[in-house]
């Protein structure tokens, strides 16, 4: 097949799994790992929620008053620029995680991310220091992007390697609860401050307050991560490296420089990129572009009187609904598989993108809410299962590095630039339907990637031993995997017999 993930990994050729080969991770340990990993995601998306909802305020603080349409594009560009350095962060932190451990890298990225977000809140405005203000904002956004390049993909790897095989979908989905929770927290803080303080106070000093919250969030994250050892899969891989003769597939299959190892996985990388494009175009269309889109609709469409504040509140409600549904979809994927849920997300983008955008353009609170809810439901088809699906595409020995590179390159080129591309296309063509067309293209790309995605539900991660939540489950899991191996061997023998 196009993807190179093995169907059912075996311990060594001709052997079978035993219960003692299965890694048992207690649910309490997994929950602690999820909390430690998710807090970084909360911090990252808290910042995105704040920046997305205060984009117009930030434009007035950091740019000249007469910047006009160019100011909107520049402000959206300052949001997108952090994504341009994410691949660099991924290139450095991903392979570093494969060398020194997931936990150490997560501590480094947590410190960098929280510090950069806090520093945005202390930058003087344009009226005080002129063009130095947007330049300093640019530097902070670059630092955020650099750290995030190693944060999210490493957090996905961290949780996926801790989770039992049969519950990886559910536990992985909780990482995205942190995403939506951080976004809702950031957006709520911004909306509350705007409502309480008013435009003048927000423009003067109130906009700084949300960014200060990042520092205590960072301290909490560092504390939680310091309490955990590294993942069982990474520790087993390190032990195998020091053994005289490794018994892991990864150690035998990959030799040489780590980037050469990653390059050899190009089929899995392409599948990962396609899925990330579909996921994150939807994600950033809803979370970062929608607040600006309502201003575009109001400026270009007569009779549209939905205020930005009303639209923001509706979007927060949609995100809260999605937050509650993500674990449900994650648990569902442990029953029906990852691929059916991805298929539902891709098809919904292609079929429902135009109706959802038409609905949000109607001057009615109910239709605007329904339009955003449709987009949100499409989004959770991806968000709920990607943290369990993407790490499974790569072997343990280069998992963090390969995932970081594939994830960050695709999100930088297509996800984080969504707002900038939409602003530019709408300004150039005066066509308010561009968001729908862009979502449909993303859905089509996702469908192509899905064609080559291996189903990893309930299976050991590539290059790792099986994982279970208890000794009893370990016995059942080993027996189930051995039955699959025997079935594959019978099929292979039948093919060889027919070929003679």
Q: Determine the average pLDDT of the residues in 6-24.
A: 72
Question: For the domain that residue 281 is a member of, what is the CATH number?
Answer: 1.20.1250.20
| Domain presence at residue 249 | no
23 backbone dihedrals φ, ψ, rounded to 5°? -75, 125
Give the model's pLDDT for residue 437: 97
Q: Is the pLDDT of residue 10 over 70?
A: no
Least confident of 236-240, 263-267, 348-352: 236-240
Q: How confident is the model at residue 1 (pLDDT cuts 50, 70, 90)?
A: very low
| CA-closest candidate to residue 394, choices 295, 270, 492, 243 | 270
| Domain presence at residue 242 | no
Give the model's pLDDT for residue 490: 82
Give the model's pLDDT for residue 67: 62
| pLDDT tens profile 312-367 | 788 889 999 999 999 999 999 999 999 999 999 999 999 999 999 999 999 889 99
Q: How confident is the model at residue 450 (pLDDT cuts 50, 70, 90)?
A: very high
CA distance 101 to 94: 10
Whole-prediction pTM = 0.86
Q: How many CA atoms lie within 13 A of 178 on its CB side?
A: 25
Taking CB atoms within 8 Å and a gap of at least 24, the contacts of 6-12 are 6/249, 6/462, 7/454, 7/484, 7/488, 8/459, 8/481, 8/484, 8/485, 8/488, 9/249, 9/459, 9/460, 9/462, 9/463, 10/485, 11/247, 11/465, 12/247
| pLDDT tens profile 168-197 | 999 999 999 988 898 888 888 888 888 898
Give the model's pLDDT for residue 76: 67
Give the model's pLDDT for residue 127: 85
Total tally of structural domains belonging to the chain: 1
Domain containing 200 equals 19-231+259-499
First to last CA, the chain: 23
Give the model's pLDDT for residue 250: 47
| Domain presence at residue 175 | yes
DSSP bridge pairs for 24: 468
| Domain presence at residue 1 | no
| Domain presence at residue 280 | yes
Please tell me which residue, 303 or 192, carries the higher pLDDT value.
Answer: 192
| Domain presence at residue 241 | no
**Averaged confidence pLDDT in the chain:** 86
Q: How confident is the model at residue 2 (pLDDT cuts 50, 70, 90)?
A: very low
Kindly state the percentage of the chain with pLDDT values over 90: 38
| Domain presence at residue 246 | no
| pLDDT tens profile 38-72 | 887 888 788 877 877 787 788 778 877 766 666 66
| Domain presence at residue 13 | no
Give the model's pLDDT for residue 434: 95
């Amino acid at each position: 097949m196009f993807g190179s993930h093995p169907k059912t990994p075996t311990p060594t050729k001709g052997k079978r799994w035993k219960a003692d080969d299965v890694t048992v991770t207690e649910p309490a340990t997994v929950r602690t790992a999820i909390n430690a990993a998710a807090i970084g995601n909360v911090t990252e998306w808290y910042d995105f929620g704040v920046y997305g909802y205060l984009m117009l305020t930030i434009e007035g603080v950091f740019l000249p008053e007469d910047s006009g349409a160019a100011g909107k594009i520049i402000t959206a560009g300052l949001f997108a620029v952090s994504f341009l350095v994410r691949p660099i962060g991924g290139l450095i932190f991903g392979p570093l995680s494969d060398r020194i451990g997931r936990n150490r890298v997560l501590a480094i990225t947590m410190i960098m991310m929280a510090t950069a977000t806090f520093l945005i809140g202390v930058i003087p405005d344009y009226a005080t220091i002129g063009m130095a203000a947007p330049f300093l904002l640019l530097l902070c956004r670059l630092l955020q992007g650099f750290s995030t390049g190693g944060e999210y993909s490493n957090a996905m790897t961290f949780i996926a390697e801790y989770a039992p095989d049969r519950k990886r979908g559910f536990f992985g989905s909780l990482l995205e609860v942190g995403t939506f929770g951080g976004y809702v927290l950031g957006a709520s803080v911004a909306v509350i401050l705007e409502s309480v303080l008013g435009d003048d106070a927000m423009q003067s000093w109130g906009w700084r307050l949300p960014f200060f919250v990042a520092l205590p969030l960072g301290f909490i994250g560092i504390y939680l991560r310091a309490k955990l050892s590294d993942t069982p899969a990474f520790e087993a891989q390190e032990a195998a490296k020091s053994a005289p003769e490794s018994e892991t597939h990864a150690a035998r299959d990959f030799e040489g420089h780590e980037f050469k190892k990653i390059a050899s996985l190009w089929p899995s990388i392409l599948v990962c990129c396609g899925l990330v494009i579909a996921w994150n175009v939807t994600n950033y269309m809803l979370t970062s572009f929608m607040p600006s889109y309502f201003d575009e609709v109001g400026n270009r469409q007569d009779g549209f009187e939905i205020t930005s504040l009303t639209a923001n509140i509706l979007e927060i409600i949609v995100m809260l609904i999605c937050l509650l549904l993500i674990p449900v979809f994650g648990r569902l994927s442990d029953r029906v598989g990852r691929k059916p849920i991805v298929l539902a997300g891709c098809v919904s983008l292609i079929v429902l993108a135009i109706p959802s955008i038409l609905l949000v353009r109607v001057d009615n609170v109910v239709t605007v809410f329904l339009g955003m809810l449709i987009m949100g439901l499409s989004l959770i088809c991806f968000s709920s299962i990607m943290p369990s699906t993407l790490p499974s595409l790569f072997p343990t020995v280069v998992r963090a590095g390969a995932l970081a590179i594939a994830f960050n390159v695709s999100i930088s080129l297509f996800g984080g630039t969504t707002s900038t591309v939409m602003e530019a296309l709408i300004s150039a063509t005066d066509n308010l339907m561009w968001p729908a067309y862009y979502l449909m293209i993303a859905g089509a790309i996702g469908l192509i990637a899905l064609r080559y995605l291996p189903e990893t539900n309930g299976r050991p991660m590539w290059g790792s031993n099986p994982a279970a939540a208890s000794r009893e489950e370990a016995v059942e899991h080993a027996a189930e995997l051995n039955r699959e191996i025997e079935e594959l061997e019978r099929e292979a023998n039948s093919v060889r017999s027919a070929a003679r």
